[in-house]
């Protein structure tokens, strides 16, 4: 499995194969990358606009066309200009001075306000049926409230936050080449913070570094300490203590108890009071709506939905008039191996284990030019109150799944169920069970909507494109890399890199050097060979980042292949000759069946999007890429006519040009 890399750089040959390969790496990939104009300049799409169907007012606010031209900045690039001082010594101590100047608002009397909240007081007084105050001494219940509150959070320590920010800044500069952030996106979030409503960031989740990088980014942009909702199952007790003092939140295990449990009622009431207090005080909150890539659980995080349910409840009961939700996506060229290994381990991450992983990462990158790049994407904030009003107005015709499937099972109807009115079967666990049925459905749809927006706005990194080209045996990397980048941009997705094409290829291959080998075959040409072993799995994970970009074409190609499978002999060749006609309704039905078959975590369709609109979008993509050709309807003529003219084509028929795209319809051995 080899790929040709056309190069002009001359290298000195070595006698041994290993020495020859090492010389290629050292001489061809020692180039220093610099921040330059974004790829394709002004034609780069500005992604991340909120849904115009669900939140039309938010779509018009906080956005101006001028912010699309503000460009990018690196949040880990701290210089003398970022401090109030000047001089030679300031240039040496700029990281330390910058961390001292960060504004950290004080948090006063938060535990007392939480105990005095309405929900906790109702339980303490026994006014709630089955509450913890029935038959128990008030002092014992107050101690239990304090214990649960200590498990959830602790007041952030300003000195510890500044010290950790200084150490993290040095660590990120050793590990990353840059952490890019669009200035226009940050300007939208800053305007939203100045509007008075609390910010709730809903992010994807690639690695443990996300929960550390995002708070650092918001602190550097003057938005205060970000409160991160962590998963207590992934952290040891010692690490949880440290994260609480840095602003972390943890869901107590009692919150997952049954509805009739007094401990569960008390724990959920305390968590609800904590969220209400955070929103009232205006502190930003970060919730991960996605499970880690290696998690066996569904992609849509149940823990993230539980935290989001507490936020929705606080807005619905009027504790705060509104909250602004910000979809967030973080992408990396390559997750450091040490951090990836500890995060994928089955045991909870300990404090010393994490410190050892940091030291391993620093040691592996010490004096090495192969530093990775990262991109943080902040989508346009939208109003939670506006979304709730818009979502509830569309629930009038909703049917249960039993009502949809019963006519089909009894043979009374052969149509595919309308997924627009289908009631989801998403499993609900934990604190979501305490909500009403309509609120549970609201939280699930909102979570799917935001996660779809976050994944759709995530930038595609250069290593993902390179891994895709290597796995699918493309021969000329320079031309194919440029072509695939343009295809991604034309589909409305953004890329997380910039620079000269040759430098980008060298940067990507240098990061993937553990999985590929470079060999010289003739002067000016390099041969890229994939190493067998577990490295192929890592390349497959990287290439999966391109799946949301081409998902519509993939679904449409599978639907076309399914229709053609019934018209081709079992032993016949798949390379059909000529043009084959098929009905548009048949394709619609086949695509709808695929939508029911594929998991919702893969499609991530927005709840406000019609199923038939998605089918039309798939057909448009297939027509755009040249696989399908739409035919105009001809005059009506009987199909059994004896005339020598060809039979008429049905209205809305589509022709499939199999000769122009044989790879889509290739046999199983080529897929």
pLDDT in tens, 314-326: 999 999 999 999 9
Q: What is the mean pLDDT of residues 106-118?
A: 75
pLDDT in tens, 563-578: 887 766 655 555 555 5
pLDDT in tens, 281-292: 889 999 999 987
Q: Which two tokens stand for residue 301?
A: 């995080």
Residue among 500, 659, 635, 625 at smallest CA distance from 31: 500
Q: What is the mean pLDDT of residues 620-638?
A: 70
Please tell me the predicted confidence (pLDDT) of residue 649.
44
pLDDT in tens, 220-274: 888 888 999 998 888 888 889 999 999 899 999 888 877 778 888 888 989 999 9
**Contact (CB, 8 A) for 172 and 213:** yes
Written as one string, the DSSP assignment of 49-94 is PPPTTT-HHHHHSS--GGGGGS-EEETT---GGGSS--SHHHHHSH
pLDDT band at 3 (very low <50, low <70, confident <90, very high): low
User: How would you classify residue 533: left for phi > 0, otherwise alpha for psi between -120 and 50, otherwise beta?
Assistant: left
Average pLDDT, the chain: 77
CA 394 – CA 387 distance, rounded (Å): 11
CA 452 – CA 296 distance, rounded (Å): 20
How many other C-beta atoms are found inside a 10 Å radius of the C-beta of residue 134? Answer: 14
pLDDT in tens, 544-566: 899 999 999 999 988 888 888 77
Please tell me the predicted confidence (pLDDT) of residue 586.
83
Residue 32 is given by DSSP the state: P
pLDDT at 295 over 80: no
Q: How far is the first Cα of the chain from the last one, in angstroms, to the nearest whole number?
A: 15
CA 225 – CA 222 distance, rounded (Å): 9
**Contact (CB, 8 A) for 364 and 27:** no
pLDDT in tens, 133-174: 455 566 777 888 888 888 998 888 889 999 999 999 988 888
Edge-to-edge strands of the sheet including 516-522? Answer: 2-6, 525-530, 516-522
Residue among 234, 75, 34, 287 at smallest CA distance from 168: 75
Q: Decide which of 238 and 8 is more confident.
A: 238
Tell me the CB-side half-sphere exposure of residue 191, using CA atoms within 13 A: 17
pLDDT in tens, 52-85: 888 999 998 888 888 887 888 888 888 887 787 8
pLDDT at 372 over 90: no
Residue 460 is given by DSSP the state: B
pLDDT band at 17 (very low <50, low <70, confident <90, very high): very low
pLDDT band at 341 (very low <50, low <70, confident <90, very high): low
CA 26 – CA 318 distance, rounded (Å): 62
Residue among 282, 281, 271 at smallest CA distance from 309: 271
pLDDT at 108 over 80: no
Please tell me the predicted confidence (pLDDT) of residue 664.
29
Cβ partners under 8 Å of residue 116, min gap 6: none
pLDDT at 660 over 50: no
């Amino acid at each position: 499995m080899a790929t040709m890399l056309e190069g002009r750089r001359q290298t000195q040959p070595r006698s041994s194969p290993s020495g020859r390969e090492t010389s290629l790496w050292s001489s061809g990939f020692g180039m220093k990358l610099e921040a330059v104009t974004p790829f394709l300049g002004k034609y780069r799409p500005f992604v991340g606009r909120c849904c115009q169907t669900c939140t039309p007012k938010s779509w018009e606010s906080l956005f101006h066309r001028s912010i699309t031209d503000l460009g990018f900045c690196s949040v880990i690039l701290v210089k003398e200009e970022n401090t109030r001082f000047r001089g030679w010594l300031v240039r040496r101590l700029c990281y330390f001075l910058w961390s001292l100047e960060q504004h950290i608002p004080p948090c006063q009397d938060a535990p007392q306000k939480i105990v005095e909240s309405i929900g906790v007081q109702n339980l303490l007084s026994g006014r709630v049926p089955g509450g913890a105050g029935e038959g128990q001494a008030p002092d014992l219940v107050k101690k239990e409230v304090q214990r649960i509150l200590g498990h959830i959070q602790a007041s952030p320590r300003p000195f510890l936050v500044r010290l950790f920010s200084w150490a993290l800044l040095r660590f990120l500069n050793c590990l990353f080449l840059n952490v890019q952030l669009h200035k226009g996106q940050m300007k939208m979030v800053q305007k939203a913070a100045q509007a008075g409503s609390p910010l709730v960031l809903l992010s994807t989740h690639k690695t443990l570094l996300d929960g550390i990088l995002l708070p650092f980014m918001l602190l550097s942009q003057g938005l205060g300490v970000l409160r991160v909702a962590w998963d207590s199952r992934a952290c040891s007790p010692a690490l949880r203590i440290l994260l609480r003092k840095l602003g972390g939140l943890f869901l107590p295990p009692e919150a997952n108890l049954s509805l009739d449990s007094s401990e569960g009622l008390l724990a959920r009431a305390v968590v609800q009071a904590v969220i209400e207090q955070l929103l009232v005080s205006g502190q930003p909150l970060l919730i991960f709506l996605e499970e880690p890539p290696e998690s066996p659980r569904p992609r849509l995080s149940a823990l993230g939905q539980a935290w989001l349910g507490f936020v929705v409840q606080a807005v619905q009961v009027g504790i705060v008039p509104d909250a602004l939700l910000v979809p967030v996506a973080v992408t990396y060229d390559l997750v450091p191996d040490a951090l990836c290994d500890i995060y994928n381990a089955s045991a909870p991450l300990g404090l010393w284990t994490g410190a050892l992983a940091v030291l391993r990462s620093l040691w592996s990158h010490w004096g090495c030019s192969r530093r990775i790049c990262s991109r943080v994407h902040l989508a346009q904030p939208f109003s939670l109150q506006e979304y709730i009003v818009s979502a509830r107005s569309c629930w009038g015709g909703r049917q249960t799944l039993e009502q949809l499937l019963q006519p089909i099972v009894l043979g009374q109807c052969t149509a595919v169920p309308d997924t627009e009115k289908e009631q989801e079967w998403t499993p609900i666990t934990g604190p979501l069970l305490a909500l009403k049925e309509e609120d549970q459905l609201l939280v699930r749809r909102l979570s799917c909507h935001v996660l779809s927006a976050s994944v759709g706005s995530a930038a595609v990194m250069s290593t993902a494109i390179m891994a895709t080209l290597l796995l699918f045996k493309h021969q000329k990397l320079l031309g194919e890399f440029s072509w695939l980048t343009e295809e991604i941009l034309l589909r409305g997705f953004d890329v997380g890199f910039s620079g000269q094409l040759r430098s980008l290829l060298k940067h990507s291959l240098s990061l993937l050097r553990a999985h590929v080998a470079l060999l010289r075959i003739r002067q000016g040409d390099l041969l890229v060979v994939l190493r067998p072993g577990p490295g192929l799995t890592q390349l497959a994970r990287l290439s999966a980042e391109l799946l949301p970009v081409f998902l519509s074409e993939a679904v449409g190609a599978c639907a076309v292949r399914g229709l053609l499978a019934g018209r081709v002999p079992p032993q016949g060749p798949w390379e059909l000759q000529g043009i084959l006609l098929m009905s548009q309704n048949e394709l619609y039905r086949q695509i709808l069946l695929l939508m029911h078959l594929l998991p919702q975590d893969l499609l991530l369709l927005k709840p406000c999007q019609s199923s038939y609109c998605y089918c039309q979008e798939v057909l448009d993509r297939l027509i755009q890429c040249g696989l399908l050709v739409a035919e105009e309807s001809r005059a009506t003529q009987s199909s059994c006519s004896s005339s020598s003219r060809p039979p008429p084509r049905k209205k809305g028929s589509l022709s499939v040009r199999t000769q122009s795209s044989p790879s889509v319809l290739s046999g199983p051995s080529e897929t």
